[in-house]
């Protein structure tokens, strides 16, 4: 299971708090993050996290490419809806890709907690079936 962790600047402290609280759960999976968010999460938790470019420099698009190739299973993206983002089209594209490829997406802490609890219960195991079906089609 591959999980992307993203946060706009004003939401980074909340994502750090969230990942710290669910570190034991998240530590069992492959984690990915945009640049600055990933660095701050690594510093705060010590978790192993693959870092992409920062969001405005293409990190959102790198994660989007993984989604389009069915190589990302969940996205936790703490968005700041009250601040204009210079790379908003990239954010919109990422959200759209999650919808197109049925990738679970949380854009706030409440939804992220529901996804994490579902992950703990095994509710997202269907993603491994999707991934194995995709692999069979590519052979």
Q: Could you list the active site residues?
A: 60
Residue by residue, DSSP assigns 49-83 as EEE---GGGTHHHHHHHHHHTT---EEEEE--TTS
CA terminus-to-terminus distance, the chain: 21
Cα distance between residue 75 and residue 4, in whole Å? 5
The whole-angstrom distance between residue 136's C-alpha and the CA centroid of its chain comes to 25
Cα distance between residue 30 and residue 8, in whole Å? 21
């Amino acid at each position: 299971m591959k999980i992307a962790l993203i946060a706009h600047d004003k939401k980074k402290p909340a994502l750090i708090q969230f990942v710290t609280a669910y570190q034991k759960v998240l530590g069992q999976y492959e984690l990915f993050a945009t640049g600055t968010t990933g660095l701050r999460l690594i510093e705060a938790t010590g978790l192993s996290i693959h870092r992409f470019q920062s969001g405005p420099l293409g990190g959102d698009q790198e994660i989007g490419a993984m989604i389009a190739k069915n190589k990302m299973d969940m996205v936790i993206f703490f968005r700041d809806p009250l601040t204009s983002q210079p790379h908003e089209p990239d954010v919109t594209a990422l959200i759209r890709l999650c919808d197109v490829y049925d990738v679970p997406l949380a854009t706030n802490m409440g939804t992220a907690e529901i996804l994490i609890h579902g992950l703990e219960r095994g509710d997202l195991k269907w993603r491994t079936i999707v991934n194995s079906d995709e692999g069979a089609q590519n052979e």
